[in-house]
Amino acid sequence: MSSSSAAVEPEQSVPAARPFSLRQRILLSLISWASYIAISLIGPTLRYSISWEEPPSPPDATFEKPMIYSFWHRAVFPSAWLWRNTGIAVMVSRSFDGEYVARTLEKLGFIAVRGSSSRDGAKALLGLRSQLQQGNAVVFTIDGPRGPKFVAKPGPVLLSSASNAPMAAFCVALSDAWVLNTWDALMIPKPFSKALVRLSAKMQVPAETMTETFLERDARLAGSHRELQSALERVTAYAEAHVAQVGTAEFPVIKT
């Protein structure tokens, strides 16, 4: 991470969705509705259990807020159903693929904030910071929009540094899924699959000091970036190792 990384700037607007051709708009409508219908049909059949590295607050929460969450792009489907209609804000790419994801998520009750690490990143981070200030949770598909797979981007660290909100990572592992031949190996859960959600302990980016140099800033943010990557890898390994146990006393099925 270098001192030229995107930062949250004091601007007052978030970029609107990019314009698309008529053909693209038709495809976006068809794909987003098809995705929404698929999630709405398969989602209710899934058996979810949630496991925490540290107890949530309140104890019966399925997520905490305000909080900055990160997860792998491949788990969008099961994550979208579990946290539907909760008003969580999600940073979504302004690409064509990102647009149909955004439209699908909005149908499921999420707030889509458009932007990415390569396009309008600072303005999108501003929109997410506004959501945190309102007491909401925000989520990054952390290796999106185009990978590389399982490599965390720095957005959550920059947002945490600017907002003082804590970060956490989660993974959703599935016992049985169709895995698509896409860059992210997108998972489509098979009906009646088990889904184990593992959430990490909270992480706080150290505060900036008045005398901090550019090199010290880079080192501070890089350390938190490594911590986030490690947390993602840790919860992924745990969820995948224990998903078969969903439905046992240790991993009870929750009501969704």
**Is residue 81 situated within a structural domain?**
yes
47 beta partners: 194
Nearest CA-CA partner of 72 in 1, 206, 224, 174 = 174
CA–CA–CA angle 238, 243, 249 (5° rounding): 100
Is 4 domain-assigned? no
Give the pLDDT score at 26. Answer: 93
Domain-embedded: residue 13: no
Q: What's the domain range around 76?
A: 22-245
Tell me the average pLDDT across 242-250.
98
Domain assignment present for 46: yes
Residue 77 CA: distances (Å) to CA of 18, 141, 149, 166, 190: 24, 12, 16, 25, 11
Residue 116 inside a domain? The answer is yes
Token output for 157 = 């660290």
Q: Are 154 and 5 in contact (CB under 8 A)?
A: yes
Among 104, 44, 78, which residue's Cα sits nearest to residue 90?
Answer: 104
169 close to 231: Cβ distance less than 8 angstroms: yes
pTM of the model: 0.87
Is residue 124 in a domain? yes
**For residue 245, what pLDDT is reported?**
98
Give pLDDT tens digits for 17-76.
Answer: 467 888 888 999 999 999 999 999 999 999 999 999 999 988 888 999 999 999 999 999
Which residue carries 């991470």 as its tokens?
A: 1
Q: What's the domain count of the chain?
A: 1
**Per-position DSSP letters for 163-188, written without gaps between them:** H---EEEEEEEESSEEE-SSTT--EE
- What per-residue confidence (pLDDT) applies to 109? 96
Q: Give the tens place of pLDDT for each residue, 128-175.
A: 999 999 999 999 999 977 889 999 999 999 999 999 999 999 999 999
- Asked, for residue 14, whether it belongs to a domain, the answer is no
